Amino acid sequence: MSYQDIQQQESAVSRAGLGDRAKFITKTYNHLLAAIFLFVLASVWLFQSGTSLKIATFFGSMGMGGNLLMFALFIGIGWFASRFAHTAESKAVQYMNLAIFTLLYAVFFSPILLVAAMKAPGVIQSAATITLIGAGILTAIAFITRKDFSFLRGIVMWGFGLAALAIVGGMIFGFQLGTWFSVAMIGISGAAILYDTSNIIHHYPEDKYVGASIELFASIAMLFLYILRLFMASDE
């Protein structure tokens, strides 16, 4: 076999690998779009049915304990859904986790969206638009540069750890987390999106596109949450 033949075989294998990766990336983003669509539908139903008000009343009646519970649910939902989606071999179980995760996120967001809709009409649409634009820019950076952003993992984990301490401390000691906290969390969420997108391009196993979509959805949801908080604070 000539050197030219070997090069042609290696090139064919490389193209096949790139094709498989492209299919994985396409599936991941298709599932991400499906999760966003389900989240929107569930959020609209919760609002129109009056369930959002019931959820807000329930957590509000618990005082500080309600806030702590909401924070624990936000962290716990993402962690458990991501873990089960990555470890489950059955596609049915992975899809079930994606659906449950998305619906639980809609339940978590429902009191926040209710307050936003009542106090600042139009702010939800504005925050959603900015979130999608920001996520799109970060995605473009990752795909255009093809840089491996794995080094952001430690920064993101450290940032979320400090944020958790700040949130719990604010609940216990009664101090307010103002505008600069929301700005910092927007930055951390953006770094998480960049990290997740880089992993999707370079590292995720190609049969774990459901888990990859869950990870990315969680980061985008976090970005949306703090952009919404920032917009609401500016309208007060």
Q: Where are the domains of the chain?
A: 3-235
Window from 49-53, 64-68, 69-73 with minimum mean pLDDT: 64-68
Confidence at residue 85, expressed as pLDDT on a 0 to 100 scale: 60
What is the distance, to the nearest Å, from the Cα of residue 21 to the centroid of all Cα atoms in its chain? 22
> What pTM value is reported for the model?
0.84
How far is it, in rounded angstroms, from Cα 112 to Cα 225? 9
| φ and ψ of 60, to 5 deg | -65, -35
Closest to 98 in 3D by CA, of 85, 88, 111: 85
Number of other residues whose CB lies within 10 A of the CB of residue 186: 21
How far is it, in rounded angstroms, from Cα 201 to Cα 21? 8
For the chain, give the longest Cα–Cα distance: 77
pLDDT single digits (tens) 97-116: 888 889 988 988 988 899 88
Q: What is the mean pLDDT of the chain?
A: 82
